[in-house]
Structure 1
Amino acid sequence: MPAEKTLRSQKKRAINNKITRTYTRSRLKIASEAIESEANVKSAISALDRAVSKGIIHKNNAARKKSRLLKKFNQSINS
């Protein structure tokens, strides 16, 4: 019985992790394509932070993605 419950829990967690990961990737893609929009960049950063807090991606991975996104954003603003 506990093994079956563990399997059910793992399936639920896998689905939730996939949803969050997909949402995060979508936000990053939207922000990259419309880099001039500050709202899109903020939304992507928020999604990354949420994924880190849920343990879906590593904090250094999120930091790297945020850094690259903000670097791109700042270049688009200054040019």
Structure 2
Amino acid sequence: MPNIKSAIKRVRVAKTKTLKNSIRKSVLRTNIKKCKQAIASNDSNAAEALRVAIKTIDKAAAKNIIHKNTAARRKSKLAKALNAAAK
């Protein structure tokens, strides 16, 4: 445990940020999973699920939860899957 006041605060802040980031990452994974399931089952809400997933991915990239290129790759992959399922 740190003794210096600023180090104690950094530990507290890091714990809070870690919790928030893990929540955001969990929401991201959940929305991507829902989108994949909607596409796989040819659900009529697949386009809406894709929209929600893309929004979540963009938010995660903006908050540096995932890298911007990772975000672009995941969005592209989901859109490609939706287009392939539509045909």
Tell me if TM exceeds 0.5.
yes
The residue type equivalent to 2:36 in the other structure is: S
Deviation at 1:52, TM superposition (A): 0.6
2:50 corresponds, among 18, 34, 41, to 41
C-alpha distance in 2 between matches for 1:56 and 1:9: 16
Match in the other structure for 2:29: 25
Q: How many residues align?
A: 78
Scaled by the length of structure 1, the TM-score of the pair is: 0.96
Larger Rg: 2
Runs of 4+ residues over 6 Å off in structure 1: none
Percent identity at matched positions?
Answer: 36
Structure 1 unpaired stretches of 5+: none
Scaled by the length of structure 2, the TM-score of the pair is: 0.87
C-alpha distance in 1 between matches for 2:71 and 2:14: 24
2:81 corresponds, among 60, 72, 77, to 72
Deviates more, 1:35-44 or 1:46-55: 35-44
